[in-house]
Amino acid sequence: MERLAEPSCDTLEQELRTIIEAHDFPCVGAKAALARGNLRVVSARDMLSAWNDLEIHGALLEWAHAYRKAPEGFRSLAVVFETPLDLDEADFEKAMWHRIQSFADKDAWLGQEYDSDVSPDPEDPHFSLSFGGEAFFVVGLHPNASRPARRFPHPTLVFNLHDQFERLREEGKYERMRERILARDIKLAGDINPMLARHGEASEARQYSGRLVTNGWKCPFQDPRK
């Protein structure tokens, strides 16, 4: 049987760029990162495998260190996996946390400090992930997401630096950007995303996968530095 060709890194990156550039894509932060050349795309094989975990964690360390040297502009690091393409929302969420746990374990093993501005406890309203000493939150995308804004042909994890949003708050720009994103998302989906909450109101871990979770949901993640 002839084996289908795997998509190249350039192909995966262009697919993601095309989605973000679409007129109705709601996240203006991602659009800004792309427009300014601050979107980095890392391609990976299989979201159910640890094959690329060392490479991905290395990219997160580089991204954190680069931001500390020049903490300006909006930037995102997207990890696009070639497969699998048939995960439902619960399976995607499970795979996402497996990968995140692997990255966090490596960060701890290398002696990286946890960002003191956030909590390592996923039940804490001030929770964020930390890699290379910088706090990150994740936006999960995949083909079978219920929210249109979270759909992408390949399973993808977009890592955003927490500090850049704190800087927007200090500059008085955060609320305006948030309102624009919400309005665009409502226009695209027809209703507001029930999972959205401001940092400090509820744990952001509930938002990462894009799946609607109940109040009794427990995050399947524990950072070794907690």
- Looking at residue 80, what is its pLDDT? 95
H/E stretch holding 157: strand 156-161
| Alpha-carbon distances of 179 from 63, 90, 162, 186, 196, rounded to whole Å | 27, 28, 18, 11, 12
Residue 146 DSSP one-character state = S
**220, part of any domain:** no
Per-residue pLDDT of 13-43, as tens digits, reads: 888 888 888 888 877 778 888 888 889 999 9
CB 171 within 8 A of CB 163: no
Asked if residue 79 is part of any domain, the answer here is: yes
Mean pLDDT of the chain: 87
Please report the pLDDT score of residue 45 as a whole number.
Answer: 94
Phi, psi of 141 (to 5 degrees): -125, 145
Q: What whole-number distance in Å separates Cα of residue 141 and Cα of residue 95? A: 12
pLDDT exceeds 60 at position 182? yes
Distance CA 8, CA 86 (A): 20
Task: DSSP letter for 6, please.
Answer: P
Confidence band of 196 (pLDDT split at 50, 70, 90)? low
Average pLDDT over every residue of 147-151: 90
Number of domains in the chain: 1
Q: Is 218 part of a structural domain of the chain?
A: no
Residue showing tokens 């903490």: 71
**What's the average model confidence in pLDDT over 120-132?**
96
Is residue 58 assigned to a domain? yes
Is residue 34 in some structural domain?
yes
pLDDT surpasses 60 at 148: yes
Q: Is residue 219 part of a domain?
A: no
Domain annotation covers residue 56? yes
pLDDT surpasses 90 at 201: no
Banded pLDDT at 195 (limits 50, 70, 90): low
**Do β-strands 134-141 and 129-131 pair in parallel, antiparallel, or remain unpaired?**
antiparallel
- Residues spanned by the domain of 75: 9-207
Higher model confidence: residue 86 or residue 24? 86
**C-alpha dihedral sign at 100, 101, 105, 111:** positive
Q: What gap in Å lies between CA 207 and CA 197, rounded to an integer?
A: 8
**Assigned token pair, 108:** 């701890």
For residues 181-201, average pLDDT: 71
Confidence grade of residue 194 (pLDDT, cut at 50, 70, 90): low
Nearest-angstrom CA–CA distance, 64 and 207? 22
133 sits in the region (left: phi over 0; alpha: psi -120 to 50; else beta) called: left
Domain-embedded: residue 116: yes
Q: How far does CA 16 lie from the centroid of its chain?
A: 13
